[in-house]
A and B are shown apart, each in its own frame.
Chain A
Amino acid sequence: MGAVQATLSMIREMAAAMEEHRKHLTKLDSEIGDGDHGNNMHRGFQAALERLENTNPQTLSDALKAVAMALIGKVGGSAGPLYGTAFLKASTTLSGKEDPAPEDVAEAIEAALSGVKQRGKAEEGDKTMVDALTPAAKAAKEAASSGKSAAGVLRAAAEAANEGAEATVPLTARRGRASYLGARAEGHMDPGAHSAYLLLDAAARSLGA
């Protein structure tokens, strides 16, 4: 399967995950935010599918860029510009790499993370998607240097993101709407951290890992 085809099936898998977990993400966001995260993500990935269909990208990088533009263009909220920036940065690092090595995949995840941090100014421990993406980037790098395949790198990133998301449960939020809750946000998982795990998990599954 070519890289573009693989990317398309990855995005389809992500969109399906957002559809499947829409209610749950929205529920997490109702507990500590404003109850729209599932709807935002679902709307964004539907728009991404539509955009991929209409623009018919010929490279892996262009496919990711189309997703970025759809998320930036159609989602709103915090998640739209943040995930949009993440996909845009990943697209930039993968530009010209039509058969990305495991290291390239790890580098793309790292770039996505730094894009999110740059745009949202959150640090690890602020109870945001950064708490899932930071360990994910680290695990991806380790997996790549220990000789894992691209699929293996994504699987390692997803597992680490899952743990990172779980670890947001006891935290007090310091960014986004949940920060208004103070101590009341403790005991709830951050919805953006959970969606970051779901996306990485979908990506890994689409490559058979």
Chain B
Amino acid sequence: MKKVINAPGRVVEEMLRGMELAHPGLLRLIPEQNVIVRADAPIRNKVALISGGGSGHEPTHGGYVGPGMLDAACAGAVFTSPTPEQMLEASKAVDGGAGVFYVIKNYTGDVLNFEMAGELAEAEEIQTDYVVVNDDVAVEDSTFTSGRRGIAGTVFVHKICGAAADDGKDLAGIKELAERVNANVRSMGMSLTSCVPPESGEPIFEIGDDEMEIGMGIHGEPGIERKNIEPADQIVDDLLQKILGDNVDFTSSGDVAVMVNGLGGTPLMELYIAYACVADILKREGVNIYKMPYVGEYMTSLEMAGFSITLLKLDEEMKGYLEAPCDVAAGRPF
């Protein structure tokens, strides 16, 4: 394992310290809790949005904290959900009296810990509600699994609900909007290589030099199919077939937000190559791409090579909130 780190056991703490130092005035850390909050939190009478999950997905989650998006992000150990204690401290730090809304990705651990946090927060008279995002079409949703996983589509929930909270929407309204976004967003990813979590120092799975896995999750959970690598056109076609074949009708009238998300080890060059294929196929299928697509790294998996595609069917309200301004670390090239 070769990484720019000091100690494998301290990567999360040291990363967060770096983020706080890099974004003074925007972000602040709650000491000892690995929780990043907006520097100006709590905002009175605004619903506070909290997300969180395992670390290793940067800029998710801390990179989305700031005006117009999240009020706080709880960072767990690498690929491990944060704890109810962290979520409770985050809730206390950002609640402005209008309640706290948790954006949870559908993994057993994340759901269990946020559920417990909600119970603890309610005991402290903080109103809470939540959405469990499950946009990954690679996993079948059945009573025999923990359901579909939450992946890059979650970032759209952060953005749209964050803007709505700024706009004064109440807790019930945010919940309804979050469920609506989740119902209209679908994603699927693929990967070419594994990644190495610093603490174990070992790749999380084996994959041959000439192989790829279609439908791979962001923690290396298996996908649908392991096969020999193919040209970008073919890979994109595979992913989009599955997304378009799912139960959201992206082809009927209306606009669709599109994200091509790199998993950490795939250069922007390749993401644009993939996006060109996405644009061609969507045109052919009669899907209307809304304004500028989102091409870049939004939810990564350490240094894994690969990418995911996300489509979100927009309504007028979502469009307004998608375009509203925000100020977050992840969106600050200059």
Contacts A120-B108, A180-B145 given; does A81 touch B85 at CB 8 Å: no
**Among residues 257 to 295 in chain B, which have CB atoms less than 8 Å away from a CB atom of chain A?**
none
Contacts A30-B202, A35-B197, A120-B108; A77 near B146 (Cβ below 8 A): no
Please report the C-alpha to C-alpha distance between residue A72 and residue B116 in the assembled complex, in whole angstroms: 9
Name the A residues within 8 Å of B82 (CB-CB).
Answer: 76
Contact present for A72 and B83 (CB under 8 Å): yes
Binds A, one of B72-80, B181-189, B242-250: B72-80
Of all chain B residues, the one with the shortest Cβ separation from A119 is B112
> Is B316 close to A, CB under 8 A?
no
Instruction: Give the contact-size bracket for chain A.
Output: 20 to 34
A175 touches B81 (CB 8 A): no
Stretch at the interface among B121-129, B167-175, B214-222, B325-333: B214-222
Kindly state the separation between the CA atoms of A39 and B11 in the bound complex, as whole angstroms.
14
* B211 part of interface (Cβ distance < 8 Å): no
B258 to chain A, nearest CB (A): 25
Contacts of A77 in B (CB 8 A): 76, 80-81, 109, 113
Q: Mark B204-237, 1 if CB is under 8 A from A, else 0.
A: 1100000000000101111000000000000000
CB pairs A–B below 8 angstroms (25 shown): A34-B79, A35-B197, A35-B220, A39-B200, A40-B80, A72-B83, A72-B84, A74-B83, A76-B80, A76-B81, A76-B83, A76-B113, A77-B81, A80-B113, A81-B115, A82-B112, A119-B112, A174-B144, A177-B146, A177-B221, A179-B145, A180-B149, A180-B221, A180-B222, A181-B222
Taking CB atoms, residues of chain A closer than 8 Å to B199 are: 39
* Chain A hits for B145, CB < 8 A: 174, 179-180, 182
CB < 8 Å neighbour of A76 from B109, B144, B197: B109
Give Cα distance in the complex from A172 to B144, angstroms: 9
Nearest residue (CB) in A for B82 is: A76
Residue of B nearest to A122 (CB): B108
Q: Which residues of B contact A134 (CB under 8 A)?
A: none
Asked whether B219 lies within 8 Å of A177 as measured between CB atoms, the reply is yes
Question: Which residues on the B side are within 8 Å of A73 (C-beta)?
Answer: 83-85
B-side contacts of A120, CB under 8 Å: 108, 112
Asked if A117 CB lies within 8 Å of chain B CBs, one says no
| Contact between A81 and B116, CB atoms less than 8 A apart | yes
How many chain B residues touch A (CB < 8 A): the figure is 34
A75: interface (CB < 8 Å): yes
Classify the interface of chain A: helix, strand, loop or mixed.
helix
Q: How distant is B300 from chain A, measured CB to nearest CB, in Å?
A: 15
Residues of A within 8 A of B81 (CB): 76-78, 80
Asked whether A72 and B85 contact (CB < 8 A) given A36-B77, A78-B109, the answer is yes
Bound Cα distance from A28 to B238, whole angstroms: 31
B200/A75 in contact, CB under 8 A: no
Task: Looking at the assembled complex, report how far the CB atom of B74 sits from the nearest CB atom of chain A, in whole angstroms.
Answer: 9
Q: Which residues of B contact A (CB under 8 A)?
A: 54, 76-85, 107-109, 112-113, 115-116, 139, 144-146, 149, 197, 199-200, 202, 204-205, 217, 219-222
In the A-B complex, the 9 residue pairs with the smallest Cβ-Cβ separation, listed nearest first, are: A179-B145, A78-B109, A77-B109, A73-B85, A81-B112, A34-B219, A76-B81, A77-B80, A76-B76
CB nearest to A79 among chain B residues: B109
Decide if A176 is an interface residue (CB 8 Å cutoff). yes
Assess whether A168 is interfacial by the CB under 8 Å rule.
no
In the complex the two chains form, is A180's CB within 8 Å of B217's CB? Answer: yes
Give the chain B neighbours of A175 by CB distance below 8 A: 108, 146
CB of B22, distance to nearest CB on chain A (Å): 25
Identify the interface centre among B82, B116, B145, B217: most chain A CB within 10 Å of its CB: B145
- Judge whether A91 is part of the interface by a CB distance below 8 angstroms: no
Chain A residues lying within 8 Å of B200, measured Cβ to Cβ, are: 26, 30, 35-36, 39
Interface centre among B77, B78, B146 (most CB of A within 10 A): B146
Q: Which among B78, B108, B113, B202 has the greatest number of chain A C-beta atoms within 10 A?
A: B108
Within 8 Å by CB of A180, from B54, B79, B115, B139, lies B139
In Å, the complex CA distance between A10 and B107 comes to 32
User: B146: which A residues are within 8 A, CB to CB?
Assistant: 175-177, 179-180
Q: Given A179-B145, A180-B145, decide whether A76 and B77 contact each other with a Cβ distance below 8 A.
A: yes
Residues in B whose Cβ lies below 8 Å from that of A78? 81, 108-109, 112
Cβ of A184 within 8 Å of any chain B Cβ, yes or no, is yes
User: Known pairs A78-B109, A78-B112. 18 more at Cβ < 8 A?
Assistant: A30-B202, A30-B205, A35-B197, A35-B204, A36-B79, A39-B200, A72-B83, A73-B84, A75-B80, A76-B77, A76-B83, A76-B109, A77-B80, A79-B109, A80-B81, A81-B109, A81-B112, A119-B112
